[in-house]
Chain A
Amino acid sequence: MTASEIVHLTARQLRSLFEEGRLSAEEIVSAYLERIRAYDRHVGAFLLVDEEGALQQARTLDERKARGEPLGPLAAVPVAIKDVLCTQGMRTTCASRILHNFVPPYDATVIRKLREADAVLIGKTNMDEFAMGSSTENSGFQITRNPWDLDRAPGGSSGGSAAAVAACFSPMALGSDTGGSIRQPAALCGVVGLKPTYGRVSRYGLVAFASSLDQVGPFAWDVPDTALLLQVIAGHDPMDSTSVEIEVPDYLATLDQPVGGLRIGVVREWLADGVDEQVAKAVEQAIDVYRALGAKIQDITLPHSKYGIPAYYIVAPAEASSNLARYDGVHYGYRAADYDDMVDMYCRTRAEGFGAEVKRRVMLGTYALSAGYYEAYYLKALKVRRVIREDFDRAFEQVDIVLGPTSPTPAFRLGERIDDPISMYLSDVYTVTANLAGIAGISIPCGFTADGLPVGLQLLAPPFEEERLLRAARMYERETNWHTRRPDLERVVAQFEAKQSASAG
């Protein structure tokens, strides 16, 4: 099997070919590393590729297999890790200069679970600094390009993970979703991305952006791989008091069983003003697919979802302003070279170490929590969260799944929104409500624009109903083949380079 064939396989295929002895772990990992070497200089998905570590892990797996030892559910499957998850002994920067040299002394719980499942940690992916952004352009180190069109952003903040899967640098990846940071880049990169219910996956070792909203989740090419990765990382963790002690069902066992009498609620206001026509069309066609499958389609309304973005931009920055206070140059990370005294060291370290968007949000959050403003902003935003959750509770009394577009537009051009924070913030207009309400959501590919850019379909389910969400998504996926399309990187790169040289000449 050629390297190119290997990197186009699903994780399940890789796992069984390895199990059957038809592919060694080293062959698998080498194929991906070769692909990364060839194309990541154009895509920029990775901040760190752990070639040596990944190969070492692969060889150990081959030895263990040779000895007949039992192997985990992700044996020999490469997984790319968003650089917001702590990996023991492997630099973890959150794409921030302030953590440019930070090597965690411990593994995040999800990383430990990946290791226990015998996954191969192939590298750390680029992101918006501290997960603040929707295009990955806020990275302190590099930009990531969308593998479908290198002029365009991969979305964010988990843009590196989404691009890594889309570019076939890794069959799976982990991201984090605070306001849409898994689902939106998944949509823009044409892959599957799932945000679990708040409390479903441990946050221990996930560098906090907004603690009450953050959740770790999987990226993959299709729904079964997504279910497989969720299965490995889900579950209560004694190290995370906010992770919930609810049994994790066997997602793969029921995945191909259609949801009987599926009732789908279409959020009408998400298909009206502000949404790109081609996106709306693709979503309408997806609705037709469900209708054809016998699902009962009805319109629903989430009257308070329009307050989602304002509420989110109070709660998330407020928590962030406190969570990011620890980056002060005292104990680890970047410290300014010159300073007069302690306060000056704090100021210079943070002024030099953080990027503009992080500073903007820290200031926003500090303001929102200040005496005299707390009630008007923070407490008010908490009330909005509650009514948004009530909107969903009411909707889920009538329907099993809520459906809409993931993002109002397909992938936008790099640089297009970076100087206009509000337009960037509105990229998450359909995704933030799920975080504010703490429910589960998934984005799956549902078509392409005329320019060949992927469109994402968002499905939402009540808390801890990931099983229902995955089964409903799988029903659609079985009827369509969007998830089997891969960008032709060779052609995309050639086109991009031709355009570059044309504009340079």
Chain B
Amino acid sequence: MSTTTDVAPYTVVIGLEVHVQLLTQSKLFCACRNRFGDPPNTNVCPVCLGMPGVLPVMNRQAFELALRAAVALNCKIARFTKWDRKNYYYPDLPKNYQISQYDLPFSSDGYLEIPVEGGTKRVGIIRVHLEEDAGKLLHGEGGKRSQVDLNRAGTPLLEIVTRPDMNSPAEARTFLEELRLLLRYLEVSDCNMQEGSLRCDANINLHVHHNGEIIATPIVEVKNMNSFRAVERAMAYEMERQYEEWKRTGARLGEVPKETRGWDENRNITVSQRRKEEASDYRYFPEPDLVPVTVTEEELERVRESIGELPAQRRLRFISGYALPEYDARVIVEQGKKFADYFERVARGLEHAKNASNWMLQDVLRTLNERGWTIEEFPIAAEKLCDLIRRVERREVNTHAAREVFAEMLEGGGDPGEIIERKGLAMVSDEDALRQVVAAVLDKNPKVIEDFKKKKGKKRAQVAGFVRGLVMRETRGKADASLVEKLVNEMIVERAGVGFDS
């Protein structure tokens, strides 16, 4: 064994298979409501119950949403696509076949760019196809009896299969985060992994660097990951487990049957579920009850136009157009389209967009988190917040007082100008008046000057800060902070007879 210490002994290779539920009004092949949380078996009809004699009819809205996603994922769109039946028996699948797409998916060969350290990375998309979801089995007490809820049966599901282009657990997680952001921007899916509207399986193996040779280890499929964090941790666990296993057995890709392992959230390990001796035979064949779907150039053009700006483009525009730091741009865009729209409405009326960003990322975001609101529920109109921040920029009110105005707007609405006026929060920037306040504070606290003289360096600055706090309190927080700083520094030095640095 000769593994060098400065080079990692292997590269991890990860590909993901992601299923997302589409935000359509109705199911994929019938008119039933596509909605979750209703009592079991209430959103069902003969079609999605798989009754004898029923026929599917494609929901065009679902197909259009799927097209949006595929176009945004830079996929090639097939002009002609068909449906296939995937045959297998399971009680949550009423027809015992799933209508899916096999050899002619409606889109393929795309990519998604994900942010990585020092730039971006392209993760290839092999294919995106549309299929119907199955129902849910509810297992009763004792495990003997099960019940079936078919509300989810027949709802539209988008399957996205990536190339094995991710080379770390963190990249796998970033891909999922970026995909979720994209699909939410497109209003294609809400991508909630806990609620099952985004589901993810991973294929992972290693390329071990050994004696100048690169050895691929057997691919393992990992299932049962219920959060992005779980994906990252399962990948990290599996990577190390596979390396240990390789060291023990030396098994290479193709030498053992493909294994499926499940992530055990409580024990933080993956557990072997089964080894596939051969691929399951789903006996795919073209669905004879549906006609092929054709996509015209006009339709595709309409979809392209409706997509608009995507999150990655928006991040770049925020950096170049608003001069935002990369961090600010990323966090704002991550909050979703509506949040970023709100930010833009505030930023456009300001001298410096960074001021809007500061308020959004601190005060607004904190409020949303505390109260569990979305930006659409946030009671202060963007124009009002812009008005307030503009008054700070114009030094009509200082930041401290502006926060008080913000709090009042949050509770009772109102107009910033009116609140400032009513509460007398306008900034005090009259130099003579402030000079008198500083003098009075120093008179009242003679010990301050003694302290200043005794201390050195940074400690002297702390003394000055203490005085500034007293002055702000005297002025009920309305004083122009930079003017106060200038006057306090001047007058302390004058009275103490020593400077800050001596």
Q: Which of A99, A205, A322, A328 meets B285, CB within 8 Å? A: A322
**Cβ contacts under 8 Å, A241 to chain B:** 55-58, 289-291
- List 9 A–B pairs whose Cβ atoms lie within 8 Å, in order of A's numbering: A85-B53, A203-B55, A241-B291, A242-B55, A325-B89, A326-B95, A327-B52, A330-B91, A330-B148
* CB atoms of B285 and A369 under 8 A apart: yes
- For A99, A240, A322, which residue has the most chain B Cβ atoms within 10 angstroms? A322
A247 to B283 CA separation, bound complex (whole angstroms): 37
Evaluate contact between A106 and B46: CB separation under 8 angstroms. Answer: yes
Check A370 against B281 for contact (C-beta < 8 Å). yes
B94 at the interface (CB under 8 A from A): yes
Q: Kindly list chain A residues whose C-beta atoms are within 8 Å of the C-beta of B46.
A: 104-106
A92 to B53 Cα, complex, angstroms: 10
Among B55, B283, B291, point to the contact of A369 (Cβ < 8 A): B283
**Is B49 engaged at the interface, CB distance under 8 Å to the other chain?**
yes
Known interface pairs A92-B52, A205-B54; 10 further A-B residue pairs with C-beta atoms within 8 A, sorted by A's residue number: A92-B53, A94-B52, A106-B54, A211-B289, A239-B55, A321-B87, A321-B283, A322-B285, A371-B279, A374-B285
Chain B proximity of A472: nearest CB distance (Å) = 30
Q: Say if the beta carbon of B85 comes within 8 Å of chain A.
A: yes
Q: A326-B52, A328-B96 are in contact. Are A242 and B283 (CB under 8 A)?
A: no
Give 5 closest A-B pairs by Cβ, nearest first.
Answer: A325-B96, A211-B288, A369-B283, A212-B288, A207-B52
Interface residues of A in 311-334 (CB under 8 A from B): 318-319, 321-322, 325-328, 330-332
How many angstroms between the C-alpha atoms of A319 and B97 in the bound complex? 12
A448 to chain B, nearest CB (A): 37
Can you list, as one digit per residue, whether each of A61-96 has a CB less than 8 Å from chain B (1) or not (0)?
000000000000000000000000110000010100
- Nearest-Cβ distance from residue B63 to partner chain A, whole angstroms: 13
The A interface, classified by DSSP as helix, strand, loop or mixed, is loop
Contacts of B284 in A (CB 8 A): 369, 374
Residue B51 is within 8 A (CB to CB) of chain A in the complex: yes
Would you call A36 an interface residue if the criterion is a C-beta within 8 Å of the partner chain's C-beta atoms? no
Complex Cα distance A108/B89, Å?
A: 26
Contacts of B58 in A (CB 8 A): 241
Q: Is A251's beta carbon under 8 Å from chain B?
A: no
B114 to chain A, nearest CB (A): 36
Chain B residues contacting A239 (CB-CB under 8 Å) are: 55, 57
Give the complex CA separation of A346 and B88 in angstroms: 12
Residue of A whose beta carbon sits closest to that of B49? A331
Q: What is the bound-complex CA distance between A319 and B56, given in angstroms?
A: 15
Instruction: Tell me the smallest distance from the CB of B454 to a CB of chain A, in Å.
Output: 85
Interfacial chain A residues near B336, Cβ < 8 Å:
none
Interface size on B, residues (CB 8 A): 29
Chain A residues whose CB sits within 8 angstroms of the CB of B499 once the complex forms: none
> How far is it, in angstroms, between the C-alpha of A241 and the C-alpha of B59 when the chains are bound?
11
List A residues 358-392 near B (Cβ within 8 Å).
366, 369-371, 374, 378
Interface string of B56-76 (1 = CB under 8 A from A): 111000000000000000000
Q: How far, in Å, is A352 (CB) from chain B's closest CB?
A: 17
The reply to whether A378 and B285 contact each other, CB–CB distance below 8 Å, is yes
Q: Which residues of B contact A164 (CB under 8 A)?
A: none
Q: Are B97 and A242 in contact (CB under 8 A)?
A: no
Chain A, range 255-279, C-beta contacts under 8 Å to B: none
How long is the Cα–Cα vector from A318 to B95 in the complex, in angstroms? 15
Please state if A342 and B285 are interface contacts (CB–CB under 8 Å): no
Interface string of B77-116 (1 = CB under 8 A from A): 0000000010101010011110000000000000000000
Known contacts being A241-B58, A325-B95, is A332 close to B283, with CB within 8 Å? no
Mark A residues whose CB is within 8 Å of B: 85-86, 92, 94, 99, 102, 104-106, 108, 203-208, 210-212, 238-242, 318-319, 321-322, 325-328, 330-332, 342, 346, 366, 369-371, 374, 378
Contacts of B53 in A (CB 8 A): 85-86, 92, 104, 108, 204-208
Closest to B46 in A: A106
Min CB gap A364→B, angstroms: 13
- If the complex has contacts A342-B91, A369-B87, are A104 and B290 also in contact, measured as CB distance less than 8 A? no
How many angstroms between the C-alpha atoms of A215 and B250 in the bound complex? 60
Is there contact, CB below 8 Å, between A325 and B285?
no
Q: Is B262 an interface residue (CB 8 A)?
A: no
Question: If the complex has contacts A325-B95, A328-B89, A366-B283, are A204 and B291 also in contact, measured as CB distance less than 8 A?
Answer: no
B417 contacts the other chain (CB 8 A): no
Binary contact track B282-297/A, C-beta < 8 Å → 1, others 0 = 0111001111000000
The answer for the CA separation of A242 and B57 in the assembled complex, in Å, is 9
| A86 adjacent to B291 (CB under 8 Å) | no
Tell me whether B281 and A371 are in contact (CB under 8 A): yes
Complex: A366 Cα to B285 Cα, angstroms: 11
CB-CB under 8 A from A102, the residues of chain B are 52
CB–CB A104/B283 < 8 A: no
Q: In the bound complex, what is the Cα–Cα distance between A43 and B281 (angstroms)?
A: 45
Contacts of A240 in B (CB 8 A): 55, 57
Say whether B40 faces chain A, with CB atoms less than 8 Å apart.
no
Name the A residues within 8 Å of B87 (CB-CB).
Answer: 321-322, 325, 369
Across the interface, A105 reaches (CB within 8 A) one of B51, B89, B285, namely B51
B164 contacts partner chain A, Cβ-Cβ < 8 Å: no
**Chain A positions within 8 Å of B57 at CB level:** 238-241
Find out whether the CB atom of B52 lies under 8 angstroms from the CB atom of A322: no
The winner among B52, B87, B289 for most chain A CB atoms within 10 A is B52
Most buried by A among B54, B58, B290: B54
Given contact pairs A105-B51, A206-B53, A322 touches B290 in the complex (Cβ within 8 A)? no
Q: How far is A240 from B52 in the complex, measured between Cα atoms in Å?
A: 14
